[in-house]
Every structure is written in structure tokens, then in C-alpha cells.
Structure 1
């Protein structure tokens, strides 16, 4: 168990982990603390919004709605991997969940995943006081994609909070792992995400995981890439593949042609205005 970070310390931890942050309104004091405790905190819950569009999703999570006032989380993670901070303190995101899962998170005592929850929002224990929450913009239909930048941001925000509290990746769970009523996040596996978070926690704050590290290409590698054959979208003959290098040369030439054309247009416009 841990005392919640101050809003300033929370923000600093996110930025130290390389998270791209947008501060929304009076997020530092926007909370539901008047309705119950905020802390001690035990972990992080990841959600999906069942919505699309950054502006509208962020506004919804900030304001909430009549039956469930905002904030509905602490941060909204958009498709580009930007985290919009919408509240800090008690937030209406976790609801009721399984007490056995809570204990497993506190003890960090489970294997690949906590035991399947048998209690939910109506009969579970209060999670709003115990968890940081991040809503990720996704329709939640299993078809809406999870861009690399968004998954990277989920990894980073989770690692940032865990690092600040001295927790392991097992302090991060999905809403579906907390409550029997929930299915989010849908579209990626939480055990896989915890593995990513664990790798990040093994390094220093903000350092890239091995998957992010750029690999230098040798001259031989470059020649292989240049000669790799791709299908041409314009050629209709039997052999409609071309070396990758051909496409690159074509793109460079097209750019040069367009620049020359724009210069001619600008010259004509100057004559006409004169």
C-alpha cells in the first residue's frame, strides 16, 4: 500500500518516463474526493473508452455524464500516444471489483494474470480509492486498432507510476481483470503488456526498451533493402514488381518536379499581380 503521489510528483514521473503529456483544465484539483477516500493506492487499471475522436473522448472523461460525474480517469491516452491529464485524486473509473484480485495486486503474488474476478461493480470492493486509472481511446470492438504509439504510451505511464511507488509490473491490471462486469481493454493482452512494462522497469526512466532501439544497417543490408522487389500499383504487365530503390528514385524525382512546378506557378502569380 502507498500514499498517492502528489499531482506534481505524478506529472514529473510521467515526463521522466518520456510520456507526452497534455494538461487539461484544472486537472490537479478535479476529483471525487468528496465522495470517498483516495488512497492508499495499490496499482494501475487500464481501460478503453468505447469512443472515437480525441477531443470528444477527453471531454467525456473530464466531465463524465449525469449518472457518473467526472473525472472518469486520471489520464486519457489517445491514438497518437499523447496522455491527456483530466483529473487527480479519486476518479470514477474502477468501480467495484474482486477483493481477492485486490489482495493479489497488493502482494504481487499471481502468475501471468490474477485469478478471474467473481465480483463486480454491484458487489465488489471500492477500486476508485485504490487505483490510478488510464482510459485509452478505442471502440472496444476487437477490431479498432491499437497503434504502436498508443501501446507505447500505456507501457510508459504504467511504468512511470510503478517506478515512482516501487511496484512491479504486476501492480498493473486491466479493468476486465478487476471486475467480473468488464471486458476492457479489448484488443491486446494484459500479460503481454505487463511483460513490456517489466522490461521498461528493468532500465532507467525514459530509456527505450530493446524493441525501440534503432539497429544500424550495414552496407550489405542497405543493398538488400534497395534490391527488394515490391508490387507496382501502376504497372499492369505480367512482371509488375520493381526494386524498392526504383520507388525511392521515383519519389525523389516527383518531389523535384513538384518543387519546379510550384516555382513556375509562383513566378506566374507575381507577374499577374504586378
Structure 2
């Protein structure tokens, strides 16, 4: 059965977001949604490295809770993975603005993040991911004709209070930025150039070839020419260490810093 949220990919792409439709997403869900009233924000509490390592869990569930666990997974590079067009088990019992059926009334977004803001598992939110998070929520709210107040954090919805802490960032500030996007007052998405001034291509997860080999050699990795999870993790760490946006994408600024290191 094809479920109701088949409009998700187009709405997100029209907002300028990168979208990856997962196999079988149109028929995935625990039945159909009810009336969609808002968006609920989560973080995955997943691994520290990788763009969307929690994708399989969000899609297929975990022991004691079958998937899907959200309609959308948000990677660290800002990619929106569309997982389900039906209802997802993401909310639990709670209340937001009088709505108490979270799974039926709210589209769930699970953003990849360890859920730690300090210590060895600390996972600072990449600017590109937060920007995509806000734009994703804004696009959905505009589609369903809801105000920014209908974007809530799991920690705000879930009862009793204090049951959940996700997401860790300030939801009032998040909603303020969502409202600005909806009002057309936010800057356009900044696109990374496809190559630098010397013709080196922008590289990211899935890239392959001689330039990936050069990158791996600079980072002291096994050189195989495949931009895999280990390469992405090393790129993110290099970016953090050098004050760059830790998005795992090697564009002109990252290339320049790598070559100067």
C-alpha cells in the first residue's frame, strides 16, 4: 500500500535540499498518518562518525520497536533521507499545542548526532546540517500550512517532562530561524563550488578516483581511491582541527587548508 506522504521529496527538493529516497519508502509505515499538524525534531544517539550511520535502525527499527522510526533521516552533510510515507514510531506519549497523538500528527525527523555536547563523544552540529534541519522543517510546515510553533523537539512533546532530551539545541532559537525561512528572510542555501581554482573537484561520500587517492594520502589513510566512511570521518576531524565547517565535504577551502598543512 502506498501511504499519504508521497509529497515529501518534491517539497524538500523545491526548498533546495539534497534528497535521497530510500528503497520502498512509499509503502513503508505503520499504517497511514492522521492529519499532519507539525514536525517533531530528534537526534539519533548514533555513532560519532559517518554521514547517516543510523539509517538502517531508523528504517528497520531495533529490538522492541519496529521501524520505521521516523519519516526523514538527516545526515551530517544535510542530506534528507526520505524513509517512510506512512506513520512512524518516533513520538511516544506526550503533548504539544494540544496534540497528543505524536506518531499520527507529527512528521518525525531523526538527525544524525551522538546526543553528547561534551566529552569524547561530543558531536558539534555542522552548520550545513543545522541549516538543512531548519529548511526541512520550514518546507514541511509551509506545505501543511502550519506556523513555526508546530515544530517541536521530542524533549518538549514527551511526557512526563524530562523523559527525553533530544535534540540538545535550543528549540526556541530553532523555531525563530524556521519562521525566518518561512517568511523568506533567511539567506539562500550556500552551494559549495564544484571545483577549486586549480580544477580540483569537490569530494564527498561516494566520490572516487585520483583526487580521492591524493586526499587519502594527505590524511595518512589507506589509499584506495574510494571516499568511504573512514575517509569521511578523517575529513571531518581534519576540518574540526583546523576551524573549518565539519561537513565531511572537501571543497575549495578544505583543499587549500589540506595542501597548506
Q: What is the TM-score normalised by the length of structure 2? A: 0.65
Deviation digits for residues 180-230 of structure 1 (CA, Å, limit 9, x no counterpart): 3110001x2111111111111112xxxx8238679xxxxxxxxxxxxxxxx
User: Which residue of structure 1 lines up, in the alignment, with residue 24 of structure 2?
Assistant: 26
Pair 1:43-2:66 in alignment: no
Q: CA deviation at 1:7?
A: 3.1
Aligned with residue 185 of structure 1, among 122, 144, 167: 167
Residues 56-115 of structure 1: per-residue CA shift (max 9 Å, x gap): 3111100111310000001110110001111121101011113xx342xx6xxxxxxxxx
Give the distance between the partners of 1:6 and 1:92, measured in 2 at CA.
16
When the two chains are superposed, the root-mean-square deviation of aligned CA atoms in Å is 2.5
Task: Tell me what 1:132 maps to.
Answer: 107
* Residue 154 of structure 2 is aligned to residue 154 of structure 1: no
Aligned equivalent of 1:243: none
Q: How does 1:258-273 map to 2 (within 5 A)?
A: none
Q: What is the rounded CA distance, in whole Å, between the counterparts of 1:213 and 1:90 in structure 2?
A: 33
In structure 2, stretches of 5+ residues that fail to align are 192-252
Structure 2 SS opposite 1:157 = helix
Q: SS where residue 80 of structure 2 aligns? A: strand
State the alpha-carbon separation in 1 of the partners of residues 68 and 76 from structure 2: 20
Q: What does residue 13 of structure 1 align with?
A: 11
Name whichever structure is richer in helix by fraction: 1
Give the greater-gyration-radius structure (CA): 1
Q: How many pairs were matched up? A: 185
Q: TM-score, normalised by structure 1?
A: 0.62
SS in 2 for 1:44: strand
- What displacement does 1:55 show? 4.8
